[in-house]
Amino acid sequence: MLFDERFLFTPGPTPVPERVKVAMNQPMIGHRGEEFPRLLEEVSRRLMPVFGSKSPVMLISGSGTAALETAVVNVVEEGDHVAVIVTGAFGERFAAICEAFGANVHRLEIEWGKTCSAEELTLFLKKTDKVFKAVFATYCETSTGVFNPIKELGEAVKQHTDALFIVDGVSCIGAVRPDMAEQNIDILVAGSQKALMLPPGLAFIATNDRAKAAIQKCRTKRFYLDLNRYHASFEKEAQTPFTPAVSLIYGALEVCNMLEEEGLDQVAERHLLLKEMVRKSVPALQLPLLTSDENASSTVTAIVTDTGPAKQLKKILAEQFGIVVAGGQKKLKGEIFRIGHMGYCTPYDVLKVLTGMEMALQQIGEGKKLGVATAKAQEVWLRQLAK
Ligand SMILES: *Cc1c(COP(=O)(O)O)cnc(C)c1O
């Protein structure tokens, strides 16, 4: 069987559009020449609406975790009390980074698959007498496929503390419409290889003035990830303090073109359609969804496959159909698999993964499955076209 491509449905990395690949394939330029500052200036500014940020977005070469670590190391000092909302593996990661830098981490543990409500956070913040330097949250918890209610959480942080509200948007920025001011977000971070349609390797950090002041005051030892250096370099000459990932930044410019051409609201709506197509169709295969409709992310869906033949689904999809989905992480390992539908993903792509699932389940004798899920998804798409 000829498969000249893998069909990538992991919630990062995600497929890279041809246009973006072409845009990256350019002769190398010196980053201290005249051309690069123009490129960086343009990308950092055109990303502002994507992050809902009032100031240019800083770019650091590194994966999403570099963005997370940047947010921590520029704000948190050893001994500081911080609250971390843990709704899954990536909340855990924020907590682990804070601990690595000697913070007193207070975890607000939420059952995996659920979101943290503003009431839960308020109770948590009120029951302690500690003064928190920062409250950390995950926008899209990729390990379970939920969207935490960031605006409500931001409101609670603002009402009950003077803490900075720091949000991991790695797996949804580029697919949602954040507004840092309205959501009370002080620092919002993202990575390139998720909804931003780029290869891995770029970390994005958006800050407001309040965060900038805290970053200037923070005495934690840091060098490569010192945001003060990035801010100073950018403000002075639209440069980066160290060699930038030039090719990825060319790609980011093309991503801005694509997002603007489609329209940021339309991009967010497309993701809602993809989510709805997956969620309305998968139960028809007798596979339960991990999360409720209200809590569900528009970028990634977790499907429970902990029993029987469904356990083999992920393997069959890859081996027979070239479709790559992701398994569960940590405590959900072996319990679920996850379909990423973010970034460069169309309704046809969703039909593709559903077709593969139908055929795989049919093969392992799970009853008559052909057409069952795809029909549901097609109905969702048609309903949206009729609007
Ligand atoms: C992928 C991801 C990260 C980490 O990104 P890496 O690029 O693997 O370092 C952090 N947070 C969330 C929510 C993610 O989905």
Instruction: Please report which helix (H) or strand (E) contains residue 269, including its range.
Output: helix 264-281
Atom of ligand 1 nearest to the CA of 140: 13
Please tell me the predicted confidence (pLDDT) of residue 217: 98
Q: Is the pTM of this model over 0.85?
A: yes
Output the CA 13–ligand 1 centroid distance in Å: 10
To test the ligand 1 pocket, which listed residue (142, 330, 342) has its Cβ within 8 A of the most ligand atoms? Answer: 142
Check residue 240 and give its pLDDT.
98
Spell 216-255 as b/e; 16+ CB within 10 A means b: eebebebeebbbebbbebbeeebbbbeebbbbbbbbbbbb
The three-state secondary structure class of 240 is coil
Residues 163 and 133 sit within 8 Å (Cβ to Cβ): yes
Tokens read off for 6: 């893998």
Instruction: Kindly provide the b/e burial profile for residues 23-49, where b requires at least 16 CB atoms within 10 angstroms of the residue's own CB.
Output: bbeeeeeebeeeebbebbebbbebbee
Tell me the CA distances in angstroms from 55 to 187, 231, 249, 332, one per residue in order: 11, 10, 18, 38
In angstroms, what is the span from residue 65 Cα to ligand 1's centroid?
6
Provide φ and ψ at 52, rounded to 5°.
Answer: 60, 40
Residue nearest to atom 12 of ligand 1 (CA): 170
Q: Selecting from 3.30.360.10, 3.20.20.70, 3.40.50.920, 3.40.640.10, what CATH number does the domain 18-260 have?
A: 3.40.640.10
pLDDT value, residue 2: 57
* Residue in 72, 139, 148, 170 to alter for ligand 1 test, most ligand atoms within 8 A of Cβ: 170
* Residue nearest atom 8 of ligand 1, based on CA coordinates: 64
- In this structure, what DSSP letter does residue 311 have? G
Domain ranges of the chain: 7-14+263-386, 18-260
Give the bridge partners for 60, in sequence order. 203
Atom of ligand 1 minimally distant from the CA of 169: 13
In the CATH scheme, what architecture does the domain 7-14+263-386 have? Alpha-Beta Complex (3.90)
Q: Which atom of ligand 1 is nearest to the CA of 200?
A: 7
Q: Which segments in the chain show pLDDT lower than 70?
A: 1-5
State residue 142's pLDDT score.
98
pLDDT digits (tens, 9 = 90+) for 254-311: 999 999 999 999 999 999 999 999 999 999 999 999 999 999 999 999 999 887 777 7
Distance (angstroms) between ligand 1 centre and the Cα of 381 equals 30
Q: How far does residue 85's CA lie from ligand 1's centre (Å)?
A: 16
Residue 338 is labelled as binding a ligand = yes
What per-residue confidence (pLDDT) applies to 197? 98
Return the residue whose CA atom lies nearest to atom 15 of ligand 1: 171
Is there a contact between 248 and 198 (Cβ–Cβ < 8 Å)?
yes
Whether the Cβ atoms of residue 268 and residue 87 lie closer than 8 Å to each other? no
Compute the distance between CA of residue 370 and CA of residue 93 in angstroms, rounded to an integer.
40
Percent of the chain with pLDDT over 70: 99
Q: Going by DSSP bridges, is the β-strand pair 323-324/164-168 parallel, antiparallel, or unpaired?
A: unpaired
Q: Measured in angstroms, how far is the CA atom of residue 127 from the centroid of ligand 1?
A: 31
Quick one: CA dihedral 324, 330, 332, 335, positive or negative?
A: positive
Q: How far apart are CA 95 and CA 320, in angstroms?
A: 39
Distance from the alpha carbon of residue 62 to the mean position of ligand 1, in angstroms: 11
From 194, 198, 248, mutation site for ligand 1 pocket: most ligand atoms within 8 A of C-beta = 194
Distance, CA 143 to ligand 1 centroid (Å)?
A: 10
284 C-alpha to ligand 1 centroid (Å): 31
* pLDDT given for residue 356 in this prediction: 96
CA 309 to chain centre: 30
Residue pair 57/189 in contact by the 8 Å Cβ criterion: no
Which residues does a 6 A CB cutoff place in the pocket of ligand 1?
A: 12, 63-65, 68, 90, 138, 140, 142, 168, 170-171, 191, 194, 200
Please check whether residue 153 is in contact with residue 121, taking contact to mean a CB–CB distance below 8 angstroms.
Answer: yes
The CA distance from 337 to 301, in Å, is: 8
Residue among 14, 70, 72, 90 whose CB has most ligand 1 atoms within 8 A, to mutate: 90
